[in-house]
């Protein structure tokens, strides 16, 4: 027998077999825990319709377009038993929803296969806020540590290159060759600084993306951006040139192009694609999402600006990590993760 009922949180109609009555599981649409109600049975006196009271085969029941099997039930995207509390949780879950026990981290996307879709600003904001609260320590520590290391590294690179530049000027005077060398040194300094920035950006994005999927990343994931660094530098140069040309062409094209290819860095680390392929996938992901993401970006800017002013910029330590989570969840929502 099939039980059909609505999620008490989002009203999505759910179906499962009657042997699941009384069990709790997450709604596949909103993610909230729901309890499967007991099947309703009417044992009243004969009302004259006895011949119609025989069980209706599920394949011919009006309750479902097809038989609701164990594999099709919302309860079973695959289940496992939490070793701590004994409750049933989705297979591959990183954390028990009932007792908080840490389980084996998932390797998948968390919400299903990677697939571009239209995202909702409200859903993204709510999900980002919940993840932010649940992982507050990690969310704050990652940008803080990355920013601190980047600051120190930039200072060291700057001081070192200044020493080299001074030595070149003293040894070669002010001739054309010397000035070319100075320009080359300045470009080298910028390149090294950007390498450090991109390295920690990639590592930070990997951590935040794993958090968005419900996984439990290790802190050392912050230092995992190396394999993507070369492609990130190439893609960033292309992205910067394309967007700059767009802004030169009356600004609006620049805004459109910046939105169109925005998630290339997330796709780079998420799908491990060749650099140019990341732009192609980014364009697919942003199809239909550009206006919503522009609205989310404006909201993020207002939160940062107003929050910074109200807290005399001290609150940025808490606000900036939330905006990072907001962007990460936006990407996760756009790709059905």
56-65, 194-203, 251-260 — which is least confidently predicted?
56-65
Query: In this predicted model, which residue has the larger pLDDT, 6 or 211?
Result: 211
Report whether pLDDT(265) > 80: yes
CA distance 53 to 291: 54
Report whether pLDDT(223) > 70: yes
Question: How confident is the model over 163-172, as a mean pLDDT?
Answer: 84
Report whether pLDDT(83) > 90: no
Report whether pLDDT(37) > 90: no
50-54, 60-64, 246-250, 316-320 — which is least confidently predicted?
60-64
Contact, 166 vs 178, CB < 8 A? Answer: no
CA distance 232 to 130: 30
Contact, 300 vs 316, CB < 8 A? Answer: no
pLDDT at position 104: 44
Percent of the chain with pLDDT over 70: 77
Please indicate, yes or no, whether the overall pTM of this predicted structure exceeds 0.95: no
pLDDT at position 234: 94
**Residue 92 Rama label (left phi>0; alpha psi -120 to 50; beta):** left
Separation of first and last alpha carbons in the chain? 32
Place 80 in a pLDDT band, splitting at 50, 70 and 90.
low
pLDDT at position 62: 38
pLDDT at position 86: 64
* pLDDT tens digits, one per residue of 95-114: 667 766 555 433 333 455 68
Question: How confident is the model over 143-166, as a mean pLDDT?
Answer: 95
Query: In this predicted model, which residue has the larger pLDDT, 241 or 171?
Result: 241
Mean pLDDT of the chain: 82
**Of 304, 305, 309, whose CA–CA distance to 324 is shortest?**
304
Question: How confident is the model over 147-158, as a mean pLDDT?
Answer: 96
Query: In this predicted model, which residue has the larger pLDDT, 74 or 299?
Result: 299
């Amino acid at each position: 027998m099939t039980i059909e009922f609505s999620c008490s949180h989002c009203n999505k109609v759910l179906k499962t077999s009657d042997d699941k009555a009384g069990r709790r599981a997450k709604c596949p649409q909103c993610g909230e825990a729901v309890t499967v109600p007991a099947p309703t049975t009417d044992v009243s006196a004969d009302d004259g319709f006895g011949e119609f009271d025989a069980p209706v085969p599920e394949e011919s029941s009006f309750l479902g377009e097809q038989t609701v099997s164990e594999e099709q039930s919302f309860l079973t995207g695959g289940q496992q038993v939490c070793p701590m509390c004994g409750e049933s949780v989705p297979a591959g879950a990183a954390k028990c929803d009932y007792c908080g026990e840490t389980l084996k981290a998932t390797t998948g996307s968390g919400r299903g296969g990677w697939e571009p879709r239209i995202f909702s600003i409200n859903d993204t904001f709510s999900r980002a806020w919940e993840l932010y609260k649940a992982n507050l320590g990690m969310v704050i520590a990652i940008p803080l540590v990355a920013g601190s290391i980047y600051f120190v590294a930039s200072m060291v690179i700057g001081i070192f290159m200044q020493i080299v530049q001074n030595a070149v000027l003293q040894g070669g005077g002010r001739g054309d060759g010397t000035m070319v060398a100075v320009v080359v040194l300045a470009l080298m300094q910028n390149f090294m600084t950007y390498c450090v920035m991109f390295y920690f950006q990639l590592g930070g994005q990997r951590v935040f993306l794993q958090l968005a999927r419900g996984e439990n990343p290790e802190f050392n994931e912050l230092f995992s951006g190396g394999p993507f660094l070369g492609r990130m530098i190439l893609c960033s140069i292309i992205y910067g040139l394309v967007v700059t040309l767009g802004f030169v062409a009356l600004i609006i094209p620049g805004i459109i192009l910046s939105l169109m290819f925005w998630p290339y860095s997330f796709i780079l680390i998420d799908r491990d694609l060749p650099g140019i392929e990341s732009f192609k996938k980014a364009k697919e992901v942003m199809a239909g999402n550009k206006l919503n993401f522009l609205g989310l970006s404006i909201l993020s800017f207002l939160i940062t600006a107003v929050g910074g002013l109200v807290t005399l910029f001290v609150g940025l330590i808490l606000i900036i990590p939330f905006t990072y989570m907001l962007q990460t969840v936006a990407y996760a929502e756009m790709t059905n993760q």
